[in-house]
Amino acid sequence: VGENRPVDKDALAESISLTHREYSR
């Protein structure tokens, strides 16, 4: 628990980016 995983960060960033895009729509 509490492991720094670049993959997870990437996935999270993509998810946020997608949400932001949908909000901007």
Tell me the CA distances in angstroms from 21 to 1, 6, 12, 13, 24, one per residue in order.
Answer: 30, 22, 14, 12, 5
Kindly tell me if the per-residue pLDDT of 2 is higher than 70: no
Q: What letters, b where the CB count within 10 A reaches 16 and e where it falls short, cover 1-25? A: eeeeeeeeeeeeeeeeeeeeeeeee
Q: What is the pTM of this model?
A: 0.45
Calpha distance 8→13 (Å, rounded): 9
Q: Rounded mean pLDDT of 1-23?
A: 80
Kindly tell me if the per-residue pLDDT of 14 is higher than 80: yes
Q: Rounded mean pLDDT of 1-25?
A: 80
The tokens for 7 are 């993959």
The tokens for 23 are 């909000």
Kindly tell me if the per-residue pLDDT of 1 is higher than 80: no
